Amino acid sequence: MSNIREVAKRAGVSIATVSRAFTNPDKVSKNSLKKVMDAVDEVGYRPNMMARNFRSTKSYAVVVLVPDFANLFFTKVIRAIQETGLKHGYNILLGETRDSKEREADYLKLVETRQADGVIQLSPHIPEQELLPHPHIHAVAACGACDTPYTSVRMDHISAAKSIVNYLISMGHRKIACISGLADNPHSRDRLVGYKQALEEAGIEFNETLIFEGNFTMASGHDAGDYYAQLDEKPSAIFSMNDDMAIGAIKSFKEHGIRVPQDISITGFDDLDFATYTDPALTTIRQPAEEMGKKAMQLLLQILDGKNPAQQEFILKHEFVLRDSVLPYKG
């Protein structure tokens, strides 16, 4: 690789001038600046960005903390973060935490030690365990639930859950089960609130035996299906807190000879690409994954630029997606 000496020689200026052209171009005459830049092109010189970044105290990298990036919902969010970051010269450092706070702490050190400028957190905020907010770390939460105590972008999980359960009720269902994510997950908590609100407003009594606690994986949805299949009083419809668990439950029902949606209706949450290709295709809630990633990155850039966002919480709209997994209650 060519070096700064060659650039100086080719441009006919001193090495100090070349250096200044990169670090402090305002202090270099227009004429010299042009000579340096031409020479840079000619010799194919690339300044040492890390050195440049050190001087500017910016690394132009952002850490994305993600609990599980084999989850297609998160990959959509991360992709949008990357697209937005690229437009502003920022790169993404991947921080898969697998829900380990120890590992999260290690990634946050990347900011403390200035290898990254800020953090986007994709896990919802759980107060008693949380490392963020942190006085020295610029952070934005994407995919938050209620009560994130720093800048966050989220959708309204309570009203989304409520709307899809209301849809099941409008189709005549009253024995509506719920496949939950882990109970201590704030998204599960918010969605359960929406589920309960919908039941209550329809005068349907909450029934604990219809709640199955999964962990957002297809395998746990399959377990849920097995659970409901052996109940004497089976639900006629199921609100699943994500698409993966709905897909798992459908698989289990087929194994038990229970037809979806003829014998039991089910809804998902997320609208993964697969939701169109399951049999039946899933009626679900589309989370605005791309918009969440984009907005979160925009907010972080604004914060890194020294400007405080106008509000702490940004709520984006979800969408109700009607497909084939629900039929009216037939009694």
Q: Which residues of this chain interact with a copy of itself, rule CB under 8 A?
A: 1, 46-51, 53-54, 59-61, 64, 69-70, 72, 75-76, 78-79, 82, 86, 91-94, 96, 103, 106, 109-110, 112-115, 136, 218, 222, 247-248, 250-251, 254, 273-274, 276-277, 279
Output the smallest distance, CB 18 to a copy of itself, in A: 15
Q: Which is nearer to a copy of itself, 39 or 165 (CB)?
A: 39
Tell me how far apart the alpha carbons of residues 153 and 228 are, in angstroms, rounded to a whole number: 35
Tokens of 46: 């690339």
Backbone φ, ψ for residue 187 (5° rounding): -65, -40
Largest CA distance in the chain: 89
Give residue for tokens 């439950």: 249
Q: Which is nearer to a copy of itself, 235 or 248 (CB)?
A: 248
- Taking a C-beta distance cutoff of 8 angstroms, is the pair 280, 260 a contact? yes
Output the smallest distance, CB 313 to a copy of itself, in A: 27
Would you mind telling me the total number of residues written for the chain in this entry? 331
Q: Which is nearer to a copy of itself, 50 or 231 (CB)?
A: 50
For residue 134, what are the β-bridge partners?
Answer: 137
Q: Which is nearer to a copy of itself, 63 or 237 (CB)?
A: 63
Q: Which is nearer to a copy of itself, 101 or 254 (CB)?
A: 254
Backbone φ, ψ for residue 153 (5° rounding): -120, 130
Q: At what angle do helices 243-255 and 218-229 cross, to 10 degrees?
A: 40
- The alpha carbon of residue 162 and the mean position of all alpha carbons in its chain are separated, in whole angstroms, by 21
